[in-house]
Amino acid sequence: MVQSIIFDMDGTLFQTNRILEISLEDTFDQLRSHNEWDKETPIDQYREIMGVPLPKVWEALLPNHSIALRERTDAYFLGRLIENIRSGKGALYPNVENVFSYLKEKNCSIYIASNGLSEYLNAIVNYYKLDHWVTETFSIQQIESLNKSDLVKTIIEKYNVTSGAVVGDRLSDIKAAKDHGLVVIGLYSILF
């Protein structure tokens, strides 16, 4: 029987902290340069909510700003993240490739289910050549609810998953596994 392993990306496979602060600082510098922000970059506040879908991030970080400004900020931030990935400033956690190779040798199917946006996830997958091991990468953008459990359900239904695990570092990963009768492999990573 083929086991399916569904991995989260940020904080599980990818050391987001390596590009997060510089991308966030760039973004808030951009806002300051347009007189749309006059305080320090809210890095600590972002750390508290990291892992939630980006529209929720901008609601929290820019609560008094327009939706249009949040959307422009989101696009700029995404661009900075991708540029920092492509310039090699990010990193996978140690031994990700070894774990993936081992799982493939054991005939496991590997998927990624992430709250990250598709373009961002594709930049990571392409830069680190993860598609060598990963069957498919799923973004929260693919589902209307922005709920990780619903995203995992999409994988289960598309690939007829009957057994496996969800590996992640957030409560949403644990809930997604439990909601679908999959094994939970919770990781604790110190990001900062």
Instruction: Please check whether residues 79 and 47 belong to one and the same domain.
Output: yes
Q: Are residues 152 and 58 in the same domain?
A: no
Q: Is residue 191 predicted with pLDDT exceeding 60?
A: no
What per-residue confidence (pLDDT) applies to 2?
62
Residue 126: how many CB atoms within 10 A of its CB? 12
- Domain identity same for 76 and 117: no
**Alpha-carbon span 2 to 121, nearest angstrom:** 25
Specify the amino acid at residue 108. Answer: C
* pLDDT above 60 for 190: no
Query: Mean pLDDT over residues 79-98, rounded?
Result: 96
- Indicate which CATH number applies to the domain containing 128: 3.40.50.1000
- Name the residue range of residue 72's domain: 17-86
24 and 119 assigned to the same domain: no
Last residue of a domain, one of 86, 102, 129: 86
Q: Could you give the CA distance from residue 5 to residue 7 in angstroms, rounded to a whole number?
A: 6
List phi, psi (to 5°) of 158. Answer: -65, -40
Per-residue pLDDT of 95-133, as tens digits, reads: 999 999 999 999 999 999 998 889 999 999 999 999 999
Residues 27 and 78 in one domain: yes
- The C-alpha atoms of residue 174 and residue 91 are separated, in whole angstroms, by 24
Average pLDDT over residues 49-74: 89
Residue 192 within a domain = no
